[in-house]
Amino acid sequence: MHPIDPGLWARLARSSFRSRFRLDLQDQLYLASRTPHVIAEHAASFVATRIAPERPRQDGRQTPWRGHPVFVAQHATATCCRSCIAKWHALPKGRALTAPEQRYVVSVISAWLEQRRDDPRQHAEPDGRQFDLLDSPAPHEQS
């Protein structure tokens, strides 16, 4: 299995597209109600069915933008489609991902999610804007 390149996180953080992904409150609650092992099983299932085949169905559009924390993590970590995986993780398109490669993809997704588990700074408002639970309301919002 490929180890996660420590430089991956810095490269993802420099990407204006990848770095904008945040877990919303519903995603955080979902994570809080399940163990990391269960979430990794969900990720493994999504990767096996949507990403790993030689020619994934609707490649480039197979990962929803929301609906499960794993989907958000896939976009944030460039594990959402085979083109992104080829570009960011050097796993070529045109062939099925091997079992070790699938485990690598799941480990990247899981690591991103674990970095954000129970971190209120990672919440996003329903419209996608990030907010900090420790911030006080804006002056016009105070009663």
> Is 7 a residue whose pLDDT tops 90?
yes
Residue 137 lies in a domain: no
Structural domain span for residue 18 = 6-121
Residue 1 lies in a domain: no
Residue 129 lies in a domain: no
Residue 105 lies in a domain: yes
Q: Return the pLDDT at 123.
A: 53
Contact 70, 109 (CB under 8 A): yes
List alpha helices for 1-143, DSSP H: 6-14, 25-32, 36-46, 69-76, 82-89, 99-116
Residue 126 lies in a domain: no
Q: How many domains does the chain have?
A: 1
Structure confidence by residue, pLDDT tens digits, 58-104: 887 889 999 999 999 999 999 999 999 999 999 999 999 999 999 99
Residue 113 lies in a domain: yes
Beta-carbon neighbour count of residue 111 at 10 Å? 15
Tell me the sheet residues that pair with 23: 123
Beta-carbon neighbour count of residue 139 at 10 Å? 6
Residue 42 lies in a domain: yes
Structure confidence by residue, pLDDT tens digits, 18-43: 999 999 999 999 999 999 999 999 99
